[in-house]
Structure formats: C-alpha cells, structure tokens
Amino acid sequence: MTYAPLRLEDYDISPTHGFLPSEPPLRRLPDPYYAPWEDIMDRFNQYLLAHHIRRLVRKFLPASIAVPWVAVAEFLQLNPVVCCAGVCHWNWQILDDTADDLMDIDNLGTIHTFSGSLDESWFYLVTTAIEAKCARGLSAILDATAAVERDDMSQVTRSLHQIAYALGEANIILERMYERCDPYVFYWKIREFLAGWENMEDAGLPYGVLYEGVDDTDTFSLDNWNSLFRRFRKYAGGSAAQTPLLQALDIALGIKHFPTGERGPQSSVAEARNKLRAQGVPEPPTVNSYLVQMRDYMPGGHRRFLEDLAATCRIREYVLLECSDSLLHMGTASDPRVLLRQAYNGCVDLIKTFRDKHIMIVSRYIIAPAKNGPMSPQRVAVPESSKLMPPVAYMQAMAKQISRLQSGGRMGGDSLSADPTMYPQTNIAASLKSSEQPVSKCPMQNMLAANTRPKSVTVQVVSEAQDVGRLARKLEDGAVARGTGGTDAIQFLKQVRNETAQTRI
C-alpha cells in the first residue's frame, strides 16, 4: 500500500493547539433563540447555590434538552454525555490576549463549571494546558512517521526529541494539579458531576437512563416495560482516557495495551525484532477494550486520526530493525543508531513517568478521600431497598411514583434541602429508613400532571436512600474505587503504566 502522509487539518486538529480548537470556544451562542439557556448558564452556580436551578430548568422540558443534545452529539460523532472534550477541550478562554504564551496555564480560565469552585476550574485547565503544550508533539509524530518512510534516521531522531520535549512539559503541568485543586473538594464536591451512567449501580443508576423525546419514551406503560427497558442508555462519564493525545502517543511509539487483568504476549526485544524481520508488521493484538470504547467519547475527526495513525505509523518497528543488540553493545555514543534508540526510549520513559504521576493523583484525589470518608460524624448504611432492583420491580416502582405524582404529589424545587451531591459531608439529614419507597427523580413529562415538571434530561428511578450510595462515597474495606469512566481505576492505570515500561528497546 502506498504511503500517504497525514495532515492534522484533515482531522480537525490544530498544528498550534493540538486537539483543542485553534480559536477560543464561544462563550455564548449568538442566536437569540438560545438566550434562555445561556442566561441560566451565566448564573448557573449562583442558582445552584440558592436552590433555584430546578425551578428554572422546569421551564425546559427534558425533551427540549435531550433532543438537541443528541443531535449535536451525532453531528460531532461522540456520545451525548459529559466528556473530556466538553469540559476541557471546548471550555477555556484566554485571559490576556497580549501574553507572550497565550496558552500558558496561568493565562487560561474556564467558561463554565458545575460547582463554581476554583478547584474544578484548575482540574480542567491542567488537561487543557497539557493538550496545548503537546501540539508540537503531534506534528513531530507525523514528521517521524514520514521520515521512517524515507529512511531518514536523523529526522526520526530529531522528531523523537521534539516529542520528548512536549512530554516533558506535560509532566511539569501535571505536577501542578496539586497547586489549586484540593483532593477533598475534588472527590466530594466535583467528581460526581463528571460521572456518567455506566457501571453505576452503586450510584443509583442500575440500568442507565432514558433520553426523553429521543428514545420514544411516550410509549411507556407496564405492558411494554421490556421494550422500554432496552432503550436505557449507559455512558461512561468524563475520563482522562477520552483524550486522544495519550492514545496518539501510544500508537506513535507502539505501546500496546491489553484487556484489563490480562497480560499480553511477553517477548524479548530480540524476539520481537526477529519476528518483525520474518513476518513483517504483525496484525494488531487484542487491545484494551476500555481504551477503544473511550474513542466513542472523542469527536469523529480525532477518532479517525487515531485509526489512520495506527495504519501508517511504524516508528517502533523502524527502531527495532535499525538498532541491533550487538550494535548497541559495541557502538559509540555518537553512533546515529545509538542516538535513535536513546531518543525512542526517552519518549517511552517520559510517558511512563506521566502515568506514574497520574496514579499518584488518583491515589490522592480518589482513593484517600474515599477511604477517609466525609467529615460528617454520622455513618449511614445503604438499606436493602436501595440495591439493584430487577427490571419488573424497577418499572413497577416508576409507575407507582408516577401515580403518586399524578394524584397531587410534588418533588423537586426550591423547597428541597441542600443538594447532598454538593456538600455531602454536611448532609446530616441523610439518614433514611429502609422502609421508604423508591422515588422517581425524573419521571417522563407525558406521565406527570400538568403542573409537574421533571428536573433533567434523564429518567432515574431510585430510592432516596440511594443518595448515600452515589459515586462519591466512603469505601468499605476491600471495595473497588471506580473512576468516572466506570473502571477499577488503580488496576487499570497500573497495568497501562507497566505496559508502557515494557515497551523500551
């Protein structure tokens, strides 16, 4: 197959900003049609703090949020849920247009946050700044790929040094996470906003959610609950695995990741080299399905870039074939092949270091707060009624609550107590009796009385007691700390880190 060089611009990738847009994202949609939504977002945090947000959002029925959300997501070719692209790639602004480095992290601000905290802004901006600083690394990857095709060893080495420089800056920025993002604030007040509805049984979403107006929810009745049940959607939440940057670097350097909990075929460098000489470039091995799944949360152009890069980039194969073991033992420090190998291994070491730092952050920002628990002295057990209900019981609970609401019941609104997802450590009133009935937090509009409005795009049927079983909760001994993407965070990250280290030549 004839080699055709890739162009970043063909994949909506900026040569100067990488996977970020070349221009700062719009702070408001200019069409007056969107003004009601934009006006709410302008003071979203204040409304949330004053418990006004539910009353305001009731003016917009779930279908009027779900339908355009899904339509925009389909246009962008990603899943309609909070994702890394939404909170990091398209959620930044430049503070000083005259600064020497416009994309320096200290010259960036967020457009919107859920909590209104500086910690949340900083959490997003660390990722945003890393993406911007690594833009030169993406160009260097393409330069190295083209140089391999020309057998230009010196250019491959120079390009690897440029990739290493970008990775060095990424490591420095990642270490700054600790400066302005407090682990306690992140875990107890921010993290839940980033969660999706996959593998979230403990958070009260055993079957996922429905998108009203999109998934034909007006046809609901107990007679066809099985059909409706199949329409529930399960999406992972925002995760660092959704950034195409690290996946692009893995592909460029030939770092292979295997299904979590499984070890890939282990072979020495000499064995890999001999196999490459005998068989040519092998078929890709079975990969980590979670990382592949995370590509569905990337814009379509970025996802296609990863696919095309995997089909054309042969940097690792080139280094393997050019740098024999005997040459490395006998060659001088100035030998071009020795320099090539050192440059390649330097990039691998920097990615491994980056992943070490990421594991430390996860340990400090998720594992430690989860084990320590909130400051509230009251410990609330999750009653049996909050555990996973079978589908029939789940739908019956929904019908029961809809009936209660139609007969005059009311839920949501400004009379509610403080939202426990905002300040769970002060939620002293969280103690609930196991005999309390499940509550529908967002019943479908067509099933409610005329004066009742659901609060969000989705439909959740859980017991009130499940608030204490949400994503941000104290972990008991032996419990698994899951990332917002739904994985066993530490097991996944350690395996990815170890597979990176094993790639050295």
Lookup: tokens for 250? 């893995």
d(CA 415, CA 46): 16
Lookup: tokens for 170? 């990424």
Question: Which residues does 457 contact at the CB level (< 8 Å), separation at least 6?
Answer: 62, 65, 66, 69, 211, 212, 442
Tell me the CA distances in angstroms from 426 to 373, 374, 377, 456, one per residue in order. Answer: 12, 8, 9, 24
pLDDT at 220: 55
How much is the mean pLDDT over the chain? 79
Length of the chain: 505
pLDDT 10s digits, 282-311:
555 557 788 999 999 999 999 999 999 999
Lookup: tokens for 18? 């990488």
DSSP state of 225: H
Residues 355-376 have a mean pLDDT of: 89
Residue 70 has pLDDT above 60, yes or no: yes
Region for residue 236 given its phi and psi (left: phi exceeds 0; alpha: psi -120 to 50; beta: otherwise): beta
Of residues 366 and 449, more confidence is placed in 366
Structural contact between residues 456 and 57, judged by C-beta atoms closer than 8 angstroms? yes
Q: Please tell me the least confidently modeled range out of 1-15, 84-98, 474-488.
A: 474-488
Q: Please tell me the least confidently modeled range out of 120-129, 298-307, 363-372, 423-432.
A: 423-432
pLDDT 10s digits, 469-478:
455 667 666 6
Question: Residue 397 belongs to what H/E stretch?
Answer: helix 391-406
% of the chain with per-residue pLDDT over 90: 52
Query: Is pTM, for the whole model, over 0.85?
Result: no
pLDDT class of 485 with cuts at 50, 70, 90: low
Per-residue HEC secondary structure of 105-158 comes to: HHHEEECCCCCCCHHHHHHHHHHHHHHHHCHHHHHHHHHHHHHHHHCCHHHHHH
Residue 96's nearest CA partner among 86, 106, 88, 81 is 106
d(CA 121, CA 378): 31
Of residues 211 and 137, more confidence is placed in 137
pLDDT at 329: 63
Residue 157 has pLDDT above 80, yes or no: yes
Residues 118-145 have a mean pLDDT of: 98
